[in-house]
Amino acid sequence: MRFGIKTLDDVDVRGKTVLCRIDINQPVDRKTGCLKDTTRIKACLPTLRELIDKRCRLVLLAHQGSDIEYKNFYSTEPHATVLAECLGQDVTFVEDVCGPTARAAITALRDGEVLLLDNVRFISEEQTLFELKLKLTHAQQAETLVVRKLAPLADLYVCDAFAAAHRDQPSLCGFEQVLPSAMGRLFEEEFCVISGLMESPERPCVFVLGGAKIGDAFMMLQTVLKGGIADQVLAGGLVGEVLLWALGEDIGEPARAFIRKQGYEELVDDGREILASYPGKILLPVDFGFVKDGVRHESAVGALPEGELVVDIGSETAAQFAETIRAAKTVFVNGPMGVFEQAESEQGTQVLWEALGDTSAYTVIGGGDSIAATNKYGMGDAISYICTGGGALIRFLSGEELPVVKALRHGASIAHNLTRA
């Protein structure tokens, strides 16, 4: 066991039916029905191959798409095709999660075979509103439909979805209440890497924070500065803009309006307190990039032309950040510096990612946009560790016990007490 959680070394899966929750949530091209990226699928392959080689009957549960915006929902059928190609064997897919078709497919499995069920978020109890409004305990989650229908068909539950470990949903936290449980190899590896980053980073340790989803980032910012984990924080993207606003700098009305629309205006006061508490620890942008008539322009902070929207850090900021990264011994990155998907606004992100490739530091990146930037610039082999988690990673670095970690610790202590259907 590690961290009070069983690993695959602690369980016998041969001839057993294993429910394995993975996170293979990837962008989908809706015109072709194909996945735009396969990073998370490839990350969970070691766990799946090990389970298959040990001749278990493998049932995969996964979600696809954010349930905050229902239009993002999509079937996991394309994922089955990619999994089959990667594993070099058939992966059966059923258009069902826990109904009769799914249960019949599970009972028909033979040793070494793999079944992927459809998007678990097609079930209401797996959705964010269900999670946030009802706030079910883990014991109550064991009584939900998906657990009641699937757990009696299984001998063991394995969670390899570290990227979703911050979610408190039945497919992630309910099965551990009634089935012996373990973490997969990806979950184990990511838990170990991030724990090491928190406990004993080689110094100087630099955190690079950016992107547009910054609510949790401010929680993490407090933790890594208060705990002395980060020697320096480089703040780009919306994180940098909020902190500059907190200092009274003019970031332009379009940026302020966007921050208000996203519900982040309250973070301005938090930023003011953080900056006052940790002087000299946070390096902020000194210039911005903006796009006018399809052409990139730059201006010093405070001199942004009226009506222009910040889309990137400027060249001087990028150079300062890159120099700090190259001098570091440990670097953690979550979030790009701007709208890196477009050529006119990718310069800051590209410069920093090139620095990540040049530095001799131990480098860790996390979050979907960070992974996308890594892939875009072909830096995968240059990064020491790529963590699949975004929200889970930030919550973990904020010092919060993740719901799935708590559930897995419970699952490590129970014996199989269900009557097989």
What is the Cα–Cα distance from 217 to 397, expressed in whole angstroms?
Answer: 9
Question: Exposed (0-12), middle (13-18) or buried (19+): which is 183, by Cβ within 10 Å?
Answer: buried
* Higher-pLDDT residue of 387, 22: 22
* Helix axes of 237-246 and 253-261: crossing angle, nearest 10 degrees: 110
Q: Please say if the pLDDT value at position 66 is more than 80.
A: no
Query: Rounded to whole angstroms, how far apart are CA atoms 388 and 367?
Result: 6
Q: Inform me whether the pLDDT recorded for 421 exceeds 50.
A: no
Distance CA 165, CA 236 (A): 26
CA 135 to chain centre: 22
Find all residues with CB under 8 Å of 177, minimum gap 6, and list them.
138, 139, 141, 142, 147, 407, 410, 411, 414
Q: How far is CA 371 from CA 74, 340, 376, 378, 385, in A?
A: 21, 12, 9, 10, 11
pLDDT in tens, 296-339: 999 999 999 999 999 999 999 999 999 999 999 999 999 999 99
Which stretch of 68-72, 335-339, 346-350 has the lowest confidence by average pLDDT?
68-72
Write out pLDDT tens, residues 189-223. 999 999 988 888 999 999 999 988 788 788 889 89
pTM value is: 0.87
Residue type, 132: L
**Encoding tokens for residue 127?**
């959705």
- The residue with tokens 């897919």 is 93
Per-residue pLDDT reduced to its tens digit, 106-140? 999 999 999 999 999 999 999 888 888 899 999 99
pLDDT tier for residue 420 given thresholds of 50, 70 and 90: very low
Class of residue 297 by CB neighbours under 10 A (exposed 0-12, middle 13-18, buried 19+)? middle
